Amino acid sequence: MKAIWAIAHGVIKELIRKKDFYVLLIFMLVLLGFLSYQTFFQIEGISRYVRDFGYSLVMLFSFIIAVTFTAKQIPSEIGARTIYPLLAKPLSRQKIILGKFLGGTMVSVISFTVFYLIFVGFYMTGGEGKSLVLLGQGFIFGILFLCMVSALVMFFSNFMTLSANITSTFLIYIAMGSVSEALKSNALFFKGIISGLYGFLYYLLPHFEFFDLRIRITHAWDALPLWVVFSVSGYTFLYCFVLLYFSGYVFGRKRF
Amino acid sequence: MQQVIIAKDLQYTYESGKRKIEALKGVDFSVKEGEIFGFIGPNGAGKTTTIKLLLGILNPQQGALSVFGQAPTDPKTRQTVGYMPEIADYYRYLTPKELLIMYGNIFGISKNVLHERIEKLLNLVDLEESSGRLMRTFSKGMMQKVSFAQALINDPDLLILDEPTSGLDPVSRKRTREVIQDLKEKGKTIFFSSHELSEVELISDRIGVLYKGELLDSGSAKDLLGGKEEGQSLESYFLKIIGEKR
């Protein structure tokens, strides 16, 4: 565990010292600040718009950090040739993957926490209904979402170039919101092999939409029942475990 | 003295589609405890492949290889091995001290021992004043010094160095040679590859000449040059032996 943490720690240090996070942070503060300023003009529904936009920004910016930081972990080790001293150390290749995954996840979770706290600040000062339980659930779902994104990116980095990895993950992120429902209904509508194919794709693709509480938080709906929170958590752990298992397997067989 | 490295009929072939490159064609050698073994050969001779096999990064396809009587892939073996790569652009957003802490933690070194050792190592490679600077500001030579320090972080019994003096100024080169000699005196075994033949001649107890995956000759510099005209250097011997094979 100490070795895994040592690798992850290096990734976190990089986040603190690079400008990426600070640029996104300033960008978010400016955008949310500007939108909140509009509330002074009593435009109807503006605080809901701030919530909707703010939540989307938090998720998008955290997603960007998770993807960009995790995607470059292995390629940059290979490019800088630091992979060799790392492989020569007394740790398995699976632990290297776990360390890099943990680092990528931690970096995005730290960024997400900062972004989310800012969002909560704007949320609490808005005039509409508030649900702290729902905000807590939003925070948990955000972390689960970032774990899944990092695991997916880590898996892809075994097969893809850095740019292909980032593009593919972005496409899946954008597509899953609309494709997921279509896959499900087609699996139910069709029969036989076609139904099986749609069903297979539905279960194979990562359901990022499970973690999206944007509408619920924007309109301050009721908090989710606990079984939903546990089910989504279980789904995330299982999906991450499978992805990391195969990442470790492929990375372990790779010739450097 | 105990044999630290034993390689028998070591073979390795890289395959890329239909193309096959025989990197090692049955290499035999051994390195004794406390010995400095210099590995020389032109580019593409198979030196780096041999080093990767010694580190357990690659597995031999044929033949046998043991380090301290164990397989190099065994994490226990790696615990006692230090490795300095030829080129490595270490994490630009870390300081040398942070890099050494990271590697030290991977080796499971306790905090007190680690901090004491890092201080000594940074002193040894003359980087104590730059220990808090981010490595993105480092020159190639400074990066080599960091690389040398990280190879020693676990106080290894076997040190594998790939071009250890490449990119260093003459003073730092001399210093590195002295450190290598000091390590030998402490009973450490050193296996290193270099294109700097005068350096290899100067510090190696034994030298192995590798060419196109075959070990052409091995022995002490005296043995290799023995019986030849007086005043012949390792460089002229090397050029001659390689020339004969071309």
Instruction: Look at residues B241, B216, B218, B215 and name the one whose alpha carbon lies nearest to residue B228.
Output: B241
What local confidence, expressed as pLDDT, does residue B1 receive? 72
List CB contacts (< 8 A) between B89 and chain A. Answer: 79-82
Q: What is the least distance, in Å, from the CA of A240 to any CA of chain B?
A: 24
Q: Among B155, B191, B107, which Cα is nearest to A89's?
A: B107
Give the least confident one: A31-40, A166-175, B186-195.
A31-40
pLDDT value, residue A219: 86
With a cut of 70, say whether residue B57 has pLDDT above it. yes
pLDDT at residue A39 in the model: 62
Q: Which of A5, A89, A93 to mutate to test the interface with B (most CBs of B within 10 A)?
A: A89
ipTM over 0.95: no
Contacts of B58 in chain A (CB under 8 A): 255-256
Q: What is the pTM of this model?
A: 0.90
The structural domains of chain B, with segments of one domain joined by +, span: 1-79+205-246
| CA B87 – CA A44 distance, rounded (Å) | 62
The answer, yes or no, to whether residue B191 has pLDDT greater than 90, is: yes
Domain B1-79+205-246 = CATH 3.30.930.10: no
> Which runs of E-coded beta strand occur in A113-185?
none
Asked whether the CA dihedral B159, B165, B167, B170 is positive or negative, the reply is positive
pLDDT at A20: 83
pLDDT, position B153: 96
Domain range annotation of chain A:
2-253
Interface of A with B in 68-97 (CB under 8 A): 79-82, 84-85, 87-92
Residue of chain B whose alpha carbon sits nearest to that of A83 = B88
Alpha carbon of B77 to those of A253, B1, B107, B120: distances in Å? 20, 19, 12, 24
